Amino acid sequence: MVDTEKIRKRGRPRAFDREAALETARSLFHAHGYEGVGVAALAEAMGINPPSLYAAFGCKAALYDEVLARYDAAAAPLHALMQLGADPAVTLPQLLREAAHIYAADPQMAGCLVLEGARSADPDAACRARNWLDLGRGRIRDFIACTHPQKADVVADYVAAVMSGMSADARAGHPPERLAAIADMAALAIRAMLAPTPA
């Protein structure tokens, strides 16, 4: 095996767990949004000082980007729903229901981190979040394209829009059942759109 073990670098070793710090940042960003959390609050929650944060992550936006990457990776089980051979008319409604449940499950971290970040007033944060959002939408599109190449773009846009609306409702404090009802109604359009040769 190639030794990809953590080979000690040359200077003073970092005194905090980088992954744990990212997890702390994720929690704060999820609870208060990108602009709702300052660097000082992030550093304090991590148990470090601002210079250590900047040395480890570069700048606030770069830290945010790493958090988004981890968030995207953690959503792998959701992406796993969309497997080759699966029927989008069945899977996408499941995806919406899952999202509805996740978004409203924990009121302290309501909504989707990426979707909410994509609406940030900070252009840097919004741009980075939208990159991850486009990536996720691309996954949905490609999944649909396997069976319905013509409608893949529209349906992917639609699914993303519904998820964005549910995320906003979750942040407004709406209960899970209310989001689930939206997801189920949205599924009607998906099934109608993806019906086997409607004409």
Contacts with DNA by CB under 7 A lie at 8-16, 35, 37-41, 48-52, 54-56, 59-61
Residue 109 makes contact with a copy of itself by CB under 8 A: no
Residue 182 makes contact with a copy of itself by CB under 8 A: yes
Kindly report the number of other CB atoms within 10 A of residue 60's CB atom. Answer: 20
Residue 169 makes contact with a copy of itself by CB under 8 A: yes
Query: Which of 46, 186 has the CB closer to DNA?
Result: 46
Alpha carbons 143 and 81: distance in angstroms, whole number: 10
CB under 5 to 8 A by kind: which of DNA, a copy of itself, none does 33 bind?
Answer: a copy of itself
Residue 69 makes contact with a copy of itself by CB under 8 A: no
Q: Which of residues 148-167 bind a copy of itself (CB under 8 A)?
A: 154-155, 157-158, 160-166
Q: How far is the CB of 45 from DNA (least distance, A)?
A: 12
